[in-house]
Amino acid sequence: MARAPVYLDCHATTPLDPRVLEAMLPYFTEHFGNPASSTHAWGWKAQAAVEQARREVASIIGAAPRDIYFTSGATESNNLAIAGAVRAMSGRTRVVVSAIEHKSVLEPASRLGREGFEVVRLPVGRDGIVDLEAAARAIDGQTALVSVMAANNEIGVIQPIAEIGRMARDAGALFHVDAAQAVGKIPLDVEAMCVDLLSMTAHKLYGPKGCGAIYVRRRLPVEPMLVGGGHERGLRAGTLNVPGIVGFGRACAIAAAEMAEECRRVATLRDALLDGLRSNLGTVVVNGTLERRLANNLHVSFPDVDGESLLIAIGDIAVSAGSACGSASGEPSHVLQAISGDEPVPSASVRFGLGRFTTADEIAWTVERFTTVVRHLRQKAHA
């Protein structure tokens, strides 16, 4: 009997929660108004739904609703935070980012570098955590902005955001956090963490693709990337994606209510996965610290195994060798390069992203399947 495929790539995207879909559906048909239409009931209904979602999104990060601006996703939010905030400042010429940021942070930072800004990339240790001593040296009176992600999209390591935020605040620099992977999985509080800008996206927490948001601390000047209709109080022009925004808000509300219980459940499954792989295969290397990690993340390397052969042979188990955005390039992961230092980057590395709908039976099957495939590939390598 054929077995159903197993989806363990929830860092790339998550399935839409049926409860989120239920909330969205009326806004495709019955409540189809444009929230910018302020003279009739269709517009008022849409606007009310957007503002409810704004409150739900704000609540999950401890923000005021008026400081939330809707975008198309975390990539747009990251670009707006990096380029828009830095260009709106004057007199400061340094941008500090961690070496393991998502490309949607690294690329706009590099573009600023080509425009004459000094771009400093903070190193990380083998544990995947940003070097705080290097951060303290880099963040000074010349620093315009610091950008460090809350949790890494490949190895799942949670960064010391509050400590870095205080460094930035003390130096008078802006602090941006890419929280795409962290929202709904770990507690976040923009006030306690000294965060000035924060990026997020709906499809990483069981919401729809194509909808995200940026938190911007009140009265912080940011240069818009999209101009035109004055939407979102002039920060981001374009007709709002009302169904997507409604879904984003609902996804945040569900995640906030279920976070603690879900983290415990999925961490148990993640630990069972690691224990099973280690018990059956011996040497399985965890990339990055296991102690400061998202509960749903496991990123491991299998020594003496060819990475491409492994991914081809595992069949209908959806995992990733790295981030979804970089998997097509064929280049070694910049995250693994950063944590490997002078050591060779392991060729057979797998990111397991467990999720809300992952079951214990699926984890048991994954252990069984990887055990069979890795043993075969190791025997083949030593033949």
Q: What is the DSSP string of 103-149?
A: HHHHHHHHHHHHTT-EEEEEPB-TTS-B-HHHHHHH-STTEEEEE--
The string over 301-328, giving b where at least 16 C-beta atoms fall within 10 Å of a residue's C-beta and e elsewhere, is: bbeebebebbbebbeebebbbbbeebbe
The string over 29-47, giving b where at least 16 C-beta atoms fall within 10 Å of a residue's C-beta and e elsewhere, is: eebebebeeeeeeeeebbb
Residue 43's identity, in one-letter code, is G
pLDDT digits (tens, 9 = 90+) for 89-128: 878 999 999 999 999 999 999 999 999 999 999 999 999 9
pLDDT for residue 330? 58
Average pLDDT over residues 338-342: 85
pLDDT for residue 88? 82
Average pLDDT over residues 24-35: 95
pLDDT at 214 over 90: yes
pLDDT digits (tens, 9 = 90+) for 123-172: 999 999 999 999 999 999 999 999 999 999 999 999 999 999 999 999 99
pLDDT for residue 304? 87
CB 344 within 8 A of CB 374: no
**Residue 27 phi/psi, 5° resolution?**
-85, 0
Among the listed ranges 42-46, 93-97, 306-310, which one has the minimum average pLDDT value?
306-310
What pTM was estimated for this model as a whole?
A: 0.94
Q: How many CB atoms lie within 10 A of CB 219?
A: 6
CA distance 167 to 238: 35
The string over 93-117, giving b where at least 16 C-beta atoms fall within 10 Å of a residue's C-beta and e elsewhere, is: ebbbbbbbbbbbbbebbbebeeeeb
DSSP H helices, the chain, are 18-24, 41-59, 74-79, 85-88, 103-114, 132-138, 161-171, 242-281, 307-313, 334-340, 360-382
pLDDT for residue 111? 95
pLDDT at 324 over 70: no
| Residues annotated catalytic, as ranges | 325
Q: What is the residue-averaged pLDDT of the chain?
A: 93
Q: Which of 51, 24, 21, 22 is nearest to 35 (CA)?
A: 51
pLDDT at 382 over 90: no
pLDDT for residue 322? 61
Joined tokens for residue 98:
């961690």
Question: Widest CA span of the chain, in angstroms?
Answer: 76
Helix, coil or strand: residue 318:
strand
Query: Does residue 383 or residue 23 have the better pLDDT?
Result: 23
pLDDT for residue 2? 60
pLDDT at 197 over 50: yes
Average pLDDT over residues 283-308: 94
pLDDT at 229 over 80: no
Query: Does residue 269 or residue 1 have the better pLDDT?
Result: 269
Average pLDDT over residues 255-266: 98
pLDDT at 327 over 70: no
Percent of the chain scored above 90 by pLDDT?
80
pLDDT for residue 323? 46
Joined tokens for residue 87:
């260009």
